[in-house]
Structure 1
């Protein structure tokens, strides 16, 4: 049992790596180091309000987290979502190291690429990503550029650490090693990595403190609270609620603890609110089985089991009230692991992401950028009669990716365009469905139906404009933008 527990907790603590999502998965484009270059590709110009999503500890921007996608779905036109990748330093404490300086550079580059508006960038940080954003904000403020970071929303960020951080986590990893399992070989960090050590409560003296955000930066915090409802005999009126450590890893007071987390300095930034998403789960005691038991031995076993569970719950609750991690909490954490409010599930939690989107919209308005000459950023012309756009179009892709063609065949019916799309070199094809139209642009949802190479994203947003020589296509995803100039075939 002891060995099982020593393996389970580190698995609970893992921020699992996101599943690839891109137009075409390019092995060569994977970022292994920053060196103050762009970790995520940027288009030459950004026409909307940029929102940068920063992943958590042990994560990367190409993983299973759906945060960027939910941001895109929730934000209205006029916002563009990008993902910053610091997987080259994701075991280094977020308040120090190269990740923060790289993010500061990335924010500068995103701001400079904006074709209109005020140059202000928004950022969302999950888990330690919020720490990295704070550190990057401190760097920007130090260089006199703090104003370009318009707003920050943290999601499950351990401002005041985690009870599982520091020595407890280190001991668990050491116990895991004693079972003959090498943490590194299963994709886990060494116990002495600074990210693990500095998650301790309180912050160890040898860990870099968290700088506050620039004074002009708006900030909001989103966290979660998991509650386990224990029912005796399965009866609701004989129940007790046991709150876990917030999302089971980061207590809610830590997730909303921006203030008083940087000793010796005055809190800065403009507070815009906090939200705690709650998930409640019923977990009856073994005594539920007592009602179905007809033997004396079975009844006795159920009573003994229930007593043991109740005593374990009391110990777990007492330790959680003291803010201390304890092995008695493990049975409850198993329920938390499958909760929508669990730490690594927050970027997939629609309620949490709805709160994040709400704060972003209040912080800075969307932007409809212009090219400086009075036209739209797409340099388009009036679309005119859509039926004139029917036919076969083709052109090479450029921007964040290149090396393959986009082939589009458009049809027109009842004032609406639709089409089929093909990427011959990628062996991907699908459909285009019109979703919106203005005087100069048509928006489509691209759905890939055939993907023999497994290199294309299933659904994307595409914008079509008319040019003097043909059609211009712009397809965006949270981490990249591709474009193509199409001519009729």
Structure 2
């Protein structure tokens, strides 16, 4: 009994001693207080962005960001942190100010990258994953569905934690958490759920768009018991000391209806061992201490009954702080960082490689559907439609976007300065603008910028070859789809240098000319 009382006191004193912060004060959340929008955004052009988001009672994860940046190619990636330090104790409910700040930040980044496809990726720890879910609430801002390429949650309590709602969590909330008066105290809402409802008055985190993939990185520690430095027993905790595996990998099961598809969320487990005596912090005494069967069961299953066992609480606190895959050290665990960076690069590659060229459009730009207003609203597109004069024999001349994103020239035909849906999309374009030559998008047959003229002829023997009216060095290979649209492959020096798709006759700048 004395041991239990002592252990319980040690838990509370340890939490109080190691959590350094100021008492919470209610205030209105100012997004700019933790994130500067005043920066050189030109450095982000054409890049992918990994935005690292901390969790409950957390601060900017600069060390995590630095480690991640060291594993991602600097020519393609920028790694930044997003902080809500001044509201890190507020549960991110439906109308969360923190989530609104994150949305605004994501849109700012997307505009800076000047990419049409997804270029922003979230790397979140603990409750930061819940903040991301609220910010990316499917249906709240559909625009983000096309801008965010993936979310990685590290040790996120999708289904809560047995620490949530406990006296220890309440103490940590009081000592370390800051509040902007934005919802309930998070320590209450982090309690276990699914099975079972969310704690009363706590908004349940929504699902994100099914178009955004999720990787759940989970830490799972094994507790090793020694006797005079000899390993005699091992206990697989299935947790990082704070969040159990069924919660860390529980995104799908934390959503009531409709449940996200199985293929949207995957999981990756980082395992490690920690000596039991190290978690207790009392050397040989830790080797002699023992758990009751009920305490062991509560630790294994991660039930709320853990709070009834002071020695178990003290041990789990030690796992959280000392284990290489514990809740605290997972943010700098090199194995976890490597898995995160590998997933980010895979997503980024698939997002670029996933662009397809057809007679109906290129990527997100659809002929006959996408309007000029929608084009000009996309991040990275600049300039108004401007008159370029007659090209070839097209009646009424041409209008278009002078500077475009990733080398995509959006062309429309007609006498108005603001026509309706786009008629033509060009990759590379006659004007050689942007970074088109670096974009590995292709037709279903694999034709892309740089494809040989011989391959174009082999794959499309039906193509009509016409000399370009402005240069005898360029040959246009025209392939009609039979539905009033066509693809034109512009070949110069025996390779494809531009691809134009769209409506006939607008797609043919030389239609009807001698």
TM over 0.5, shorter chain:
yes
Aligned residues of 2:53 and 2:82 also touching (Cα < 8 A): yes
The equivalent of 1:263 in structure 2 is 256
In the TM superposition, 1:112-131 aligns within 5 A as 112-116=111-115, 118-131=117-130
The equivalent of 2:312 in structure 1 is 329
Q: Distance in 1 between matches of 2:142 and 2:406?
A: 29
Structure 1: stretches of 5+ with no match in the other structure: 18-30, 177-182, 290-301, 378-489
For the pair 1:353 / 2:337, whether they are aligned, the reply is yes
In the TM superposition, 1:253-402 aligns within 5 A as 253-267=246-260, 270-271=263-264, 273-283=266-276, 309-310=289-290, 312=291, 314-322=293-301, 323-324=303-304, 325=306, 326-333=309-316, 335-336=318-319, 337-365=321-349
Q: CA deviation at 1:233?
A: 5.2
Structure 1 counterpart SS, 2:190: coil
Structure 1 counterpart SS, 2:89: coil
Q: CA deviation at 1:250?
A: 1.1
Alpha carbons of structure 1 residues 139 and 33: separation in structure 2 relative to 1, 3 Å: farther
In the TM superposition, 1:100-249 aligns within 5 A as 100-116=99-115, 118-138=117-137, 141-169=140-168, 173=171, 184=174, 186-188=175-177, 194-202=185-193, 203-232=198-227, 234-236=229-231, 239-244=232-237, 246-249=239-242
Structure 2 counterpart SS, 1:158: coil
Q: Distance in 2 between matches of 1:341 and 1:283?
A: 14
Q: CA deviation at 1:128?
A: 0.8
Deviations 1:415-445 (A, max 9, x none): xxxxxxxxxxxxxxxxxxxxxxxxxxxxxxx
Structure 2 counterpart SS, 1:161: coil
Alpha carbons of structure 1 residues 254 and 318: separation in structure 2 relative to 1, 3 Å: same
Alpha carbons of structure 1 residues 82 and 141: separation in structure 2 relative to 1, 3 Å: same
The equivalent of 1:78 in structure 2 is 76
Q: Distance in 1 between matches of 2:236 and 2:122?
A: 30
Q: Distance in 1 between matches of 2:254 and 2:274?
A: 32
Alpha carbons of structure 1 residues 169 and 281: separation in structure 2 relative to 1, 3 Å: closer
Aligned residues of 1:162 and 1:249 also touching (Cα < 8 A): yes
Q: Distance in 2 between matches of 1:100 and 1:15?
A: 25
Structure 1 counterpart SS, 2:258: coil
Q: How many residues align?
A: 330
Aligned residues of 2:12 and 2:168 also touching (Cα < 8 A): no
Q: Distance in 1 between matches of 2:176 and 2:314?
A: 25
Deviations 1:23-80 (A, max 9, x none): xxxxxxxx9943589824353332211111111111232x5x5111111111123011
Q: Which has the larger share of strand?
A: 1
Structure 2 counterpart SS, 1:106: helix
What TM-score, normalized by structure 1, do the two folds share?
0.59
Q: Distance in 2 between matches of 1:57 and 1:364?
A: 28
Aligned residues of 1:104 and 1:140 also touching (Cα < 8 A): no
The equivalent of 2:30 in structure 1 is 34
Aligned residues of 1:233 and 1:284 also touching (Cα < 8 A): no
Structure 2: stretches of 5+ with no match in the other structure: 1-5, 353-404, 409-430, 436-514
The equivalent of 2:92 in structure 1 is 94
Q: Distance in 1 between matches of 2:265 and 2:20?
A: 27
What TM-score, normalized by structure 2, do the two folds share?
0.57
Q: CA deviation at 1:361?
A: 1.1
The equivalent of 1:6 in structure 2 is 12
Aligned residues of 1:215 and 1:269 also touching (Cα < 8 A): no
Q: Distance in 2 between matches of 1:351 and 1:123?
A: 18
Q: CA deviation at 1:129?
A: 0.7
Q: Distance in 2 between matches of 1:15 and 1:209?
A: 29
Aligned residues of 1:40 and 1:83 also touching (Cα < 8 A): no
Structure 2 counterpart SS, 1:154: strand
Q: CA deviation at 1:271?
A: 2.7
